[in-house]
Every structure is written in structure tokens, then in C-alpha cells.
Amino acid sequence: MSPAFVSPPCRSKKTVALLVGGPSPEHPISLLSSIQVIQALDRQQYDLLLIGIDQQGRWWHCDEADYLRYPEDPARIQLRVTGEPLALQPGSRGGQLRESQSGTPLPAIDVVFPLLHGSMGEDGALQGLLRWLQLPFVGCDLLASAIGMDKAITKQLLQAAGIPVAPFVVLRHPDVAQLNPAALVATLGLPLFVKPTNQGSSIGVSRVLHPAELQPAVQHALAFDHTVLVETAIQGQEIECALLGNQQPAVSVCGEIVVQDAFYAYETKYLNRGQAQLVIPAPLTPETSERVRRLAIQAWQRLGCYGLARVDFFVTADQQIFLNEINTIPGFTAISMYPQLWAASGLAYSQLLDRLITLALERDQPTVSLAERW
């Protein structure tokens, strides 16, 4: 269970296409994550091709020295784009990205590093495109990405595998007209959390303390998705661990998020940084820490994850463990838990990036067919 890391063999320099931004509400978080990734990427091993995706979904070839507005302000950070938007010309492996008007080609891509949080970047849509182009990429494949993004499907699969999750109910848009708050509270109790099923970073999430708050919370969540997850609020420590690997992932030490607010909201994560404290390693007994890490690996295997994931839990005062969610493209900002957990486990930021890229390239290697094997 302890992480073990081996230096990769010598190899020729690879071109890494870093995709940042995207059309989801988590666009600013991607930009924040990109700052540290660009600074830490080992340029002796990798050439960087920076591709910014604006909130309208257009792709741009960006200059890493001048691709952001207000980079020091998480509330105002923006993608700065110049020149021509890019066009994709499908074809042989990788296709070809070109400037849409001049036709000038971009360098050939060896591996893609998607740093797009939320919908259209983390939910399998981008992963499907990259599969179509036969380009190796960092992170989970199409199916695991789609499952991990959908909180309802994730919980149903984990529950079927015997992995403990908070009691929950899934509401779809047609169900809302017949919503009976009293009956739902009788089933799940109070307080409750109401979440869009396909958003991250606590976007659209509400904490419900009274039955009268339930309907407005559901309507708020429906502004972000057509399906809503309502679940019992678990009182306990918020524990996270990081996974890294392909078939046999390594798992980091556990960390705890201690928040001053009612819950770990978007503003607490990225805007009001003093409202949350990351404690690494988490103050857990060795036995509880080991149980958390084993459950994280079970969840990884159940969902078919590859590359990386951050798995979030609640641990109650009587040492019950509930898996909260899986994040298949976790934050890489200066304050994000995923890189900090690996740093505490002996893997520095630049080494982490190299390991992720190496895993993507390893997964892309052709496997031996059954006919060849026999």
C-alpha cells in the first residue's frame, strides 16, 4: 500500500499538449491549476504546447508567457486569447491542429494533459474525442470519466459493490413537480445536501436544514444539471486521499480538510482561502487510515479508473467511513489537496507530472492480442 516510485527510463523529448480553460463553470479553476503545472513541467523532458479553450468552446494556441488576465486574483482570472482560433483536421493518428484561417499547423502532439475541470472536460466528452484521434492522454478513459462525473451513477455503483455511501435519492427534472419535502426528510433526515449530479467544486450545492428549504435547493441545483442528488449530511471528518497509477494504483497518505464554513463550498475552496485548512497527514488511527486507503482502491477498481483520481470520504466519530465522491481531474492549484498529498507521500510536483505523463504513454502501448498470446 505504500507508494513506490521508480524513475522513468531515458527517452526522447515529448510534446505535451496542455488543455486549459473550457466551457464549464469551473473554467477559472482550470486556469488556476494551469499556473503551477506550467511552472513545474520539466522542460528538459517535455516541450509544452499550451491550448486554451474559451467559455464558448473555441480552441486557441496560447503563449504561456501571456495567456492570463488577473492571474493573481481567483475571482477575476481570465483566459487571454490572441491570433486565430484553432481547427482540427482529423486523419491519421493525432490528426492535425491548425490555425483556422492561415492553415498554419501546430506541432505534432505526443500526449495530451487535460486540465479541464467539470463538464466537457472531465465527463468523458473530451476523452472520447482524444480516443477518436488515437492520442494518449493523462487521466481516466471515457467511461470512468463519465461515471466519476455523475455523482448518482457513482454512488449506485459503489453501493452495489458494498462500499459505504451516504443515504441518497436521485431526482430527475420531471420528478420535481411531485416533490414531497416532508416525505424526503422522513427518509433521509436533516440536514441534507442537494447537488447537481454532473458538477464539481461544490457548484450548485446547497445545505438544507429545514423542509421548506428543500424545493429552492432543488431548483438551484437544476440550474446546473437536469438530475439532482439529495443525500444525508454525514457529520464527521472530511478526509481525502490521492491515487496514481494504471492497473495497480499507488495511494497517498490521507489528508483532512478542516473548514470554518457550513461546508466546503466553491468560495471556501478558491476565494476565501483562510476558511479552510489542509491537515496532512490526517489525524486518524493507523487502522482507520488503512481502511480509507483500501476503500479508495476498491472504488478506483470498481469504476475502472486510470492515471489519477482523488477520493473523498467522511469519517464519523465512531470510525464509520462513507465515500463521498471521486474526482478524476482534481485541482492542481497551489492549494489543491491532490499535489499536496503526493508531496507528503514523497513525490514532488514536477515528479508527479512526469509520472502522470509516463502512465498515459504506458497505457497507450499496444497490448498482445489473445491470438498472439496463444
Rounded Cα distance, 207 and 230, in Å: 10
Element spanning 324, H or E: strand 321-327
Enter the DSSP assignment of 56. Answer: T
Number of H helices, E strands in the chain: 11, 18
- The angle at the Cα of 195, spanning 113 to 53, to the nearest 5 degrees, equals 30
349 catalytic, yes or no? no
Catalytic residue among 21, 22, 24, 26: 26
270 catalytic, yes or no? yes
Catalytic residue among 46, 266, 270, 349: 270
26 catalytic, yes or no? yes
287 catalytic, yes or no? no
Catalytic residue among 198, 206, 327, 345: 327
- How far, CA to CA in Å, does 330 sit from each of 184, 191, 326? 32, 27, 9
C-alpha cell at 148: 466519476
| Residue 50 contacts residue 35 (beta carbons within 8 Å) | no
Rounded Cα distance, 371 and 67, in Å: 50
327 catalytic, yes or no? yes
- How far, CA to CA in Å, does 67 sit from each of 22, 60, 82, 99, 271? 14, 10, 9, 17, 21
Catalytic residue among 201, 206, 289, 336: 201
Q: Which residues contact 90 (CB under 8 A, 6 or more apart)?
A: 132, 133
What backbone phi and psi angles, to 5 degrees, belong to 96?
Answer: -150, 125
C-alpha cell at 12: 526522447
Catalytic residue among 150, 256, 325, 354: 325
The neighbour count for residue 361, using CB atoms within 10 Å, is: 17
Closest CA to 257 of 321, 320, 315: 315
C-alpha cell at 322: 462513507
Q: Which residues contact 277 (CB under 8 A, 6 or more apart)?
A: 257, 258, 259
Catalytic residue among 139, 331, 338, 349: 331
Closest CA to 342 of 263, 260, 245, 275: 245
Q: Where are the beta strands (DSSP E) in 37-92?
A: 46-53, 59-61, 68-69, 78-79, 86-89
Rounded Cα distance, 52 and 38, in Å: 13
Catalytic residue among 122, 225, 256, 312: 312
128 catalytic, yes or no? no
Q: Which residues are catalytic?
A: 26, 201, 270, 310, 312, 325, 327, 331
